[in-house]
Amino acid sequence: MRTIDWVDGHVLILDQTLLPHQVKMVSIATPAELADAIIRLAVRGAMALGVAGAFGIALAAFRAHEQGRSVDRAVDEAAALIKRSRPTAVNLPWGVDRALEVRAGGPLAILAAALAVRDQDITANRAIGQAGARMLQGVRRVLTHCNAGALAAVETGTALAIVERLHQAADLEVVYVCETRPLLQGSRLTAWELGRAGIPHRIIVDGAAAGLILSGAVDAVVVGADRIAANGDVVNKVGTVGHALAARRAGIPFVVGAPEATIDPTRASGRATPIEERDQAEVLDVAGHRAAAPGSTAFNPAFDITPADLVTAIVTERRVLTPASSASSDGAHVAL
């Protein structure tokens, strides 16, 4: 089962808002439907967003062609709509641009480019899994945050690809899964994936992570990324930087698995990256019911920035980067 694919002229996605209780594939026919699915997090995670972006341009091209409208105009409109649906993961505009590059070739050329983005994601993440597990050989207790598994990609994740490889090598004792407030990508999605793969895991509340790491119960923190700046700063799900700080204090590795497409050389540092701020209701409500005190408001950034000097390694499909060992004290001068 793939998280996202192209089937019969449509984009098929696994609706992640329904997991873990319902496994439902949804067929998407237009760029507007796709943008809505991205905003609702029905499809989410940096790599899946990259593939969605490319498929969205293919949808625009095919629908316009079928209806006798201008393909050029349709793909421009779709690109703008999809790119502004979520601002942080650089993979989304990257995927859109990969498809746009071949627009002159028409719908079939655009689809071929989008399918190549899909296939590249699969091979890149397999390589990340292998390289990351090689680096972390012997690690038995891993902590992860959010979901950087197959659900955040096409059929193989990044951080969870590393975890799966460690499990196959019989090294793994337990994966601590941070629940990942407010939308619970850890307890809903990562735990679901690990359960299906038979990988031993325990869900913890995000606030338990630092204490657990400092107690000596964790050998490595492994996460994904939504954007990696030119200086090696890592932008990932809110809460990630706290794990990096705790890992540094405990003297354990903080490892990021991400494809090369997640590196954004145009952003000098993480501070130059747009951080998505989502609806306050995601924080104030629990399971659709108001939990916070009446009248209180919330601040809901979806991502945070881990400075390069806290990152032990970034494992891509081509190389292992070591920002922490080459960073200056302010982490500002690592050229990736």
Contact residues for ligand MRU, defined by CB under 6 A: 41, 44-47, 89, 146, 148, 152, 158, 185, 224-226, 236-237, 302
**DSSP result, 88-148:** S-THHHHHHHHHHTTGGGHHHHHHHHHHHHHHHHHHHHHHHHHHHHHHTTT--EEEE-S--
Give all strands (DSSP E) within 140-297, no chain letters: 141-144, 174-178, 201-204, 220-223, 227-229, 234-237, 254-257, 263-264, 285-286, 289-290
The CA distance from 174 to 59, in Å, is 42
Q: Between 228 and 327, name the residue whose CB sits nearer to ligand MRU.
A: 228
* Minimum separation from the CB atom of position 106 to ligand MRU (A): 31
Identify the burial level of 67 via C-beta atoms within 10 angstroms of its C-beta, where 0-12 means exposed, 13-18 middle and 19 or more buried: exposed
Query: Closest Cα partner for 158 from 166, 150, 169?
Result: 150
Catalytic residue list contains 226: yes
**Minimum distance from CB of 67 to ligand MRU (Å)?**
32
Q: Name the residue whose CB lies closest to ligand MRU.
A: 224
* CB closer to ligand MRU, 182 vs 331: 182
Tell me the closest approach of the beta carbon of residue 51 to ligand MRU, in angstroms.
Answer: 11
Q: Which residues pair with 178 in a beta bridge?
A: 204
CB of 47 vs ligand MRU, minimal distance in Å: 5
- In sequence order, the 6+-apart residues with CB closer than 8 A to the CB of 129 are 156, 158, 161, 162, 164, 165, 257
Judging by beta carbons within 10 Å of its beta carbon (0-12, 13-18, 19+), is residue 41 exposed, middle or buried?
middle
Nearer to ligand MRU, 63 or 188 (CB): 188
The least distance separating ligand MRU from the CB of residue 256, rounded to whole angstroms, comes to 9
What the block records as the tokens of 6 is 């192209």
* Shortest distance, position 328 Cβ to ligand MRU, whole Å: 26
Nearer to ligand MRU, 85 or 231 (CB): 85
Give the nearer residue to ligand MRU in terms of CB position, either 75 or 315. Answer: 315
Question: Could you give the CA distance from residue 295 to residue 289 in angstroms, rounded to a whole number?
Answer: 14
Would you say 139 or 146 has its CB closer to ligand MRU? 146
Choosing from 226, 233, 264, 309, which is the catalytic residue?
226
The helix (run of H) or strand (run of E) holding residue 167 is helix 159-168
Residue 246 sits at the vertex; the CA angle it makes with 189 and 213, to the nearest 5 degrees, is 65
Cα(111)–Cα(3) distance, integer angstroms: 18
Active-site residue set: 226
